[in-house]
Structure 1
Amino acid sequence: MRFESYLRTTRFASLDGLRCLSILPVIWHHATPRPLEGILGRGPFGVDLFFAISGFLITTLLLREGEGISLKNFYVRRALRIFPLYYAVLGLYALRGWLLLPDSPLRNHFLRNLPFYSTYTSNWFVDFDVPHAIVFGFSWSLAVEEQFYLVWPWVVRKRGPLHLPAVFMLGCIVLDYALEHGHLAAYIDSAGLGHRMLTSIATPICLGAVVAYVLHFRKSFSAADTMLGRRCSAPILLLALAGLLAADGTPLFVIHIVMALLVASVCIRGDHGLAKLLDIPMLRLVGVVSYGMYLFHVSVITGVKWLLPDAWRLAPVLFVLATCITFAIAWASYRFFEMPFLGLKNRFRS
């Protein structure tokens, strides 16, 4: 019965709460003046959790639409969700760069790389090894996701044994691991474009996609349900994730696996052990507008730093103020700018 209930679920409410737990560490990371030790310095892993959620959700959507999926409709829906706000924010950054920023290496670097930000290729072509801050540099993760959206639907839709796309994703994980650990250094120049493109494969996205495949079929769902379908599974995995992040030297791959399992554990059953936390309306609302918060938060932190006196520029103060202001801006953007575009998505349902 739980498998049928899972297949009938059209929106996994707790994933919005999990998005909230993803965006807050990212804001904290950019509010701190320097990298911190221990779990307080693990803010960037919020992006990895975002990746795992995205890989799971997009793959689940594609599998449920089946062979009848219209790739045209899929890409139109993705464009309506992502492009309007992204290009609006990028346009504001460009106007600021042209009109307000003084002539400097920072300004020149941004304007020179504007074509790459505009085409979601910043993770391939932008030079991040520079001594100054990188304007719009946070968009590298959005480029990774867009590249995933571009390739993965074609793999899922290709006719053949249903397990082949999952095998493809596992191959991507192995390739990423081999490249990151230098096992292919004799074959691929670590300073070359090919290496940069291949290492843009995000293991958390791949693991999220594999988890979606496991849960989509009755036999594998039953096996996963045995381990991840208990009420205590989600709390244990969240605590395990926190412990792994707090410990020094934890293998990155282990952290990513636990993230993917956490995503699965809050989707297998609606009454999981974290439901009372992740389904809190405010947390879910933050998760709903988290895309806008990601796009706005760096600018908000910069503005808050500029307005606050030096004595108040402490990381906790910056974090609280920036989070509140960023949420307000993202909510207004979602309500009055993004919603009209999102309303058009229903015209392109397969």
Structure 2
Amino acid sequence: MRPPHLKNRSALLDCIRAVAIIMVIGFHVALEYPRADLDTAALFLRRYGLLGVAIFFPLSGYLISSFLLTRDYPGFLKTFFLRRFFRIVPLYFVAVTVFALAMIVTQTDLHLLDRMWVPYSFLTAWIIFFQGEATVPYTITWSLSVEEFAYIVFGLVTWFSRRSMPAFLIAVSILPVLLRWYLYWESANGNHTPAIHYFPLARIDAIATGGVLAWLMVRKTPLKYLLLGFGGLTVIAALLVQQNPVLNRTFLYSLTTFGTCFCIALFDGGRWRMYSNAVIEVIANIGFYSYFTYLFHYFNVYALFAVVHKLFATPPSFWIMTLAALALTHAQAMISYKIFEGPMMRFGRKLEGRKETGGKKAAGMVPVPMATGADIPKPPET
């Protein structure tokens, strides 16, 4: 039996989150080992593990756009922003504060302590792009910069003109790809532009593409057309990344986006939507807590390796350390959700001032909470 707070969720979508967060943890653990000590799978994670972040983006876009496109009751934007705020901001501020305290305790990168305003203000990705990665502490918060930017822009577009939202999503699915190609082309031709992959304006296409998928599902587009479309785009992107370094760096993110959208359409648009079994439940549980895991896993990776280096001449294998980091962070995430995140989100629900009784429900969709900031399940009835 699923825990009460998981009953209305798509387990398969949570499995996508689980894959994404395991990739990110694997990447950070792999960086602690010499390449010679890693097997083929670990080397893959060392090279491509950060694409796990790119998996979160279209999933986030799919869920927030589903909400924006299918709710029409008065005050739905208030509900949207309140849910985004209480899902993301309280835990985020805790994580940034813990990072600042860790800098002081470990006497690490103290010269960046006066730059903590950057992650606190959700500007990490912007500042990295314009001033360089070395100027910003707690750099993994860059992805939250991209997502928060998308939430604000998508919400405002819906507020000004809901009817313009589909055209906006399509445009934003295309234009950042062109910008990304231009920036990489400029960099390859000697006009060095650092940290392009952090730049929100060059990465928001992934979130918008997830929104396009949501719009197509709201329109009840047949599943076979969705799979053919996103499957075809995945193949095209895979071919483009083989052409030259500029196209590789431009379309590698698009490849991840289209592949993720294909999986979302398959899992949430057809007969598989509510499918589950024991193995899927275990993996989905990891995905459910992936927001906390993303923000806090590196603290545990750092601590585990610090302890291991004191106790052993050489650390255990990559896979043992990855599993240990995942298990430790997951246990912390479960505690955090029970005593902090869950109560904060329920408090946010009270501020909405109304129960959601109106609004259109899109075919094949269930309001699903997301570890990176979508709807949360209602507390179990008492």
TM-score range, shorter chain: 0.7 to 0.9
2:262 counterpart of 1:257: no
Quick one: which amino acid aligns to residue 345 of structure 2? L
2:27 counterpart residue number? 29
The separation in 2 between residues aligned to 1:275 and 1:295, in whole angstroms, is 29
Q: Aligned match of 2:106 in 78, 101, 118?
A: 101
1:52·1:208 contact (CA, 8 Å) conserved in 2? yes
1:216 counterpart residue number? 218
1:58 counterpart residue number? 64
Q: Aligned match of 1:47 in 28, 50, 53?
A: 53
2:148 counterpart of 1:150: no
Following superposition, the deviation at residue 19 of structure 1 comes to 0.9
Following superposition, the deviation at residue 227 of structure 1 comes to 3.7
State the SS of the aligned residue for 2:305.
helix
2:125·2:200 contact (CA, 8 Å) conserved in 1? no
Relative to structure 1, is the Cα distance of residues 342 and 150 closer, same or farther in structure 2, using a 3 angstrom cutoff? Answer: same
1:18·1:278 contact (CA, 8 Å) conserved in 2? no
The separation in 2 between residues aligned to 1:298 and 1:17, in whole angstroms, is 21
Quick one: which amino acid aligns to residue 319 of structure 2? P
State the SS of the aligned residue for 2:106.
coil
The CA deviation string for residues 87-128 of structure 1, in whole angstroms up to 9 with x for no partner, is 111112222223x132x6x2212x132111111011111444
2:252 counterpart of 1:284: no
The CA deviation string for residues 327-346 of structure 1, in whole angstroms up to 9 with x for no partner, is 11111111111111122233
State the SS of the aligned residue for 1:311.
coil
Q: Aligned match of 1:332 in 330, 335, 338?
A: 335
The separation in 1 between residues aligned to 2:289 and 2:64, in whole angstroms, is 18
Query: Which runs of 5 or more structure 2 residues have no equivalent in the other structure?
Result: 1-6, 36-41, 357-382
Relative to structure 1, is the Cα distance of residues 13 and 212 closer, same or farther in structure 2, using a 3 angstrom cutoff? Answer: same
Quick one: which amino acid aligns to residue 21 of structure 1? V
State the SS of the aligned residue for 1:51.
helix
Quick one: which amino acid aligns to residue 259 of structure 1? T
State the SS of the aligned residue for 1:88.
helix
1:80 counterpart residue number? 86
Query: Which runs of 5 or more structure 1 residues have no equivalent in the other structure?
Result: 1-8
Relative to structure 1, is the Cα distance of residues 153 and 278 closer, same or farther in structure 2, using a 3 angstrom cutoff? Answer: farther
The CA deviation string for residues 203-233 of structure 1, in whole angstroms up to 9 with x for no partner, is 2211101100110013xx22xx12457xxx9
The separation in 2 between residues aligned to 1:38 and 1:197, in whole angstroms, is 24
Percent of paired sites with the same residue: 23
Following superposition, the deviation at residue 154 of structure 1 comes to 1.6
2:342 counterpart of 1:345: no
Relative to structure 1, is the Cα distance of residues 329 and 276 closer, same or farther in structure 2, using a 3 angstrom cutoff? Answer: same
The separation in 2 between residues aligned to 1:193 and 1:244, in whole angstroms, is 23
Quick one: which amino acid aligns to residue 341 of structure 2? E
Following superposition, the deviation at residue 191 of structure 1 comes to 5.0
Relative to structure 1, is the Cα distance of residues 119 and 14 closer, same or farther in structure 2, using a 3 angstrom cutoff? Answer: same
State the SS of the aligned residue for 1:26.
helix
Relative to structure 1, is the Cα distance of residues 28 and 159 closer, same or farther in structure 2, using a 3 angstrom cutoff? Answer: same
Following superposition, the deviation at residue 172 of structure 1 comes to 2.1
Following superposition, the deviation at residue 277 of structure 1 comes to 6.5
The CA deviation string for residues 176-217 of structure 1, in whole angstroms up to 9 with x for no partner, is 1222112796xxx97599998563532221110110011001
Quick one: which amino acid aligns to residue 30 of structure 1? H
Matches within 5 A, 1:240-255: 251-252=251-252, 253-255=254-256
2:166 counterpart residue number? 166
Which sits farther off after the overlay, 287-296 or 311-320?
311-320
The separation in 1 between residues aligned to 2:124 and 2:133, in whole angstroms, is 13
Following superposition, the deviation at residue 71 of structure 1 comes to 2.1
Following superposition, the deviation at residue 41 of structure 1 comes to 2.6
State the SS of the aligned residue for 1:206.
helix
1:12·1:267 contact (CA, 8 Å) conserved in 2? yes
Relative to structure 1, is the Cα distance of residues 61 and 176 closer, same or farther in structure 2, using a 3 angstrom cutoff? Answer: same
The separation in 2 between residues aligned to 1:141 and 1:283, in whole angstroms, is 23
The separation in 2 between residues aligned to 1:197 and 1:217, in whole angstroms, is 32
The separation in 2 between residues aligned to 1:298 and 1:192, in whole angstroms, is 24
State the SS of the aligned residue for 2:322.
helix
2:292·2:333 contact (CA, 8 Å) conserved in 1? yes
2:206 counterpart of 1:204: yes
* Equivalent residue pairs, number: 318
Quick one: which amino acid aligns to residue 177 of structure 2? Y
Q: TM-score, normalising length from structure 1? A: 0.79
1:305 counterpart residue number? 305
Quick one: which amino acid aligns to residue 285 of structure 1? N
2:226·2:262 contact (CA, 8 Å) conserved in 1? yes
Q: CA RMSD in A?
A: 3.5
